[in-house]
Amino acid sequence: MLDDLKLIHERDSQDALGVAQKEPDQLSYNFDSSFTDWPTKQFKNIVFAGMGGSALAGSIAVSWPSFNLPFEVVRDYHLPKYVSDETLVIVSSYSGNTEETLNIFAEAKTKNAYIVVITSGGKLAEMAQQENLPTLILPPVSQPRYAVFYGLKATLTITDGLGVTEGMAAELSNCHQFLTDSLQSWLSTVPTSQNLAKQIAQECVGKSVVIYGGPKLFPAAYKWKIGFNENAKQIAWCDQIPEFNHNEFLGWTKQPTDKPYTVIDIRSNLENPRVQKRFLVTAKLLSGLRPDPIVVEAVGQNLAEQLVWSITLGDFVSIYTALLNGLNPTPVDMIEKFKHELA
């Protein structure tokens, strides 16, 4: 089915595959950072506030570029108590109307934190403009989860501009050609027999998907989970090794005896050697007790390349899984209905 281009076009009517194909362009996008009021003081910590797809850039930044001061991602209505006028608060909402994030924005103002906004518009953009706050405007995409690299580039533009990092936005831009070349083998025109993304998708249909990563690539595992949830409308979860070996590992050994799951390991040669060994020992001891994992060995010469490679492969896999499920990957009607009911 995944080699039937006409059927793919019919089911992917909003061209999610086309969006995924253009993801490398997000890495080289240049945001307007010509703010005249960048502070000269030193920050003690950074808080990245966002929900859903708008929080994904913060999740990646936990792993790379690895800030030299405390960095926390907050998916909540409230800021941590330690936030002060020495805190950089990056407020991210693609729509600009996310209620949790708007509440965070209001709290950050009461704490006199230094606020920078990432959004495409909405109430958040209006309030930031009223307060004359630095604001990076995201280009239009069909869904926030498809703007993750825009969000990451915006975040690094901010941290580079404030002196928290140096040259990270440029390093991300340098991944553009690498990712462009890499994803050519995942396109819809490449037959399943030669297409890793299509092959993995076929193993995921009709099953709960479980994705594991080490600390460095866990953000990619988390993005795969989001992709299966929102693109394929399919239940999935993720966990991180080594924490996995202290609890969830044992959960595979007994119940349920029938295990309708697909297990995916996202591995990296950049992880701690003990983490790499844990993947191997885990697979050995759980052999016959859970499905053998699909092993995805991240490609790339550095962590930035491995992260963007792994994340984009996951996007293609989850989109192809949606098509196998007979679904349009882009809409998230139930989430929109939930927001309506909540309002």
- Residue numbers annotated as active site: 230, 246, 339
Query: Parallel, antiparallel, or unpaired: how do β-strands 261-267 and 114-119 relate?
Result: unpaired
* Residues near 166 by beta carbon (within 8 Å), at least 6 away in sequence: 160
Query: Parallel, antiparallel, or unpaired: how do β-strands 261-267 and 208-213 relate?
Result: parallel
Cα first-last separation, the chain: 40
Q: Give the Cβ contact number of residue 234 at 10 Å.
A: 22
Task: Give the Å distances, CA to CA, from 57 to 7, 132, 138, 159, 191.
Answer: 33, 24, 13, 13, 32
Measured distance CA(47)–CA(62) in Å, rounded: 11
Query: Parallel, antiparallel, or unpaired: how do β-strands 114-119 and 135-137 relate?
Result: parallel
**In the sheet where 87-93 sits, what is the strand order?**
71-74, 45-49, 87-93, 114-119, 135-137
* Cβ proximity of 9 and 1 under 8 Å: no
Measured distance CA(66)–CA(286) in Å, rounded: 33
Token reading at 253: 């050994």
Please calculate the CA angle 165-171-176 and round it to the nearest 5 degrees.
145
Measured distance CA(42)–CA(174) in Å, rounded: 28
Nearest residue to 266 via CA among 232, 313, 199:
313
* Cβ proximity of 323 and 287 under 8 Å: no
* Residues near 343 by beta carbon (within 8 Å), at least 6 away in sequence: none
Q: Tell me the backbone φ, ψ of residue 213, rounded to 5 degrees.
A: -145, 160
